[in-house]
Amino acid sequence: MSTQPKNVEDEIRRLILEIRLLESTAEQLQARMNIINAALVEHSLASMALEGIENKSSDHIFVPIGGGSYIKARLEDTDKVVYGIGAGVAIEKPLREAKEDLANRIAELNKAKAALEQQLSQVLARIQEGQSRLQELAPLLKRDEMKK
C-alpha cells in the first residue's frame, strides 16, 4: 500500500476541519459586525436628533414611547444633553460637546467595522482557497481508491 492515499486523506480531513473552523470564525465576525451596525444606527439617530434640536423651529417634539407610538412633549432646556458614556453611567454636557462626542463614537465604530470587514474578507478568501484545494484533491482520492 502506498503512502500517497494516506497523505491525500489526511490533507482532506485537515482541510475540512480548517474550513469548518474558518466558517465558524466568519459567523462570529458577521455577528460582531451586526452589533456594530446596530450601534452605528443608534448613534446616527442620536446625532440627527441633536442636530434637529439644535436647529429647532419649535419647542415641541414627538417622543417615541414604543410600539410605533409617540407622545408630544415640550423641550425646556436644550443647552445641555444627558447621555450614556458606558457601564450605566450618564453625564450632562453642552449640546455642542455631546454632538462632538457622538461624532467621535461614530468614527470609532466605523473604524471597528472596517477592521471587521477586512478580517471577514481574509477569512472568506481562506475558505475559498481551502474549498478549491479540496476540489483538486477529491479526484486524486477517487483515483487512488480505484487502484486498490
Residue-wise DSSP of 123-147: HHHHHHHHHHHHHHHHHHHHHHHHH
The answer, yes or no, to whether residue 81 has pLDDT greater than 50, is: yes
pTM over 0.85: no
Q: Look up residue 65 and give its DSSP letter.
A: E
Residues 126-140: what's their mean pLDDT? 92
The CATH number corresponding to 4-147 among 1.10.10.10, 1.10.287.370, 3.30.450.20, 1.10.287.3510 equals 1.10.287.370
* Residue range 62-80: mean pLDDT, rounded: 86
3-state secondary structure of 84: strand
Q: What are the grid coordinates assigned to 95, written together?
A: 449640546
> Which residues 6+ apart lie within 8 Å of 74 measured at CB?
59, 60, 61
Q: How confident is the model at residue 6 (pLDDT cuts 50, 70, 90)?
A: low
Checking if the pLDDT of 144 tops 90, the result is: no
Q: How many CB atoms lie within 10 A of CB 121?
A: 12
Q: How much of the chain exceeds pLDDT 90, in percent?
A: 59
Domain extents in the chain: 4-147
Which residues fall within 8 angstroms of residue 140, CB to CB, at 6 or more apart? Answer: 8
Give 12-68 pLDDT, tens digit per residue.
Answer: 999 999 999 999 999 999 999 999 999 999 999 999 888 888 887 677 888 888 898
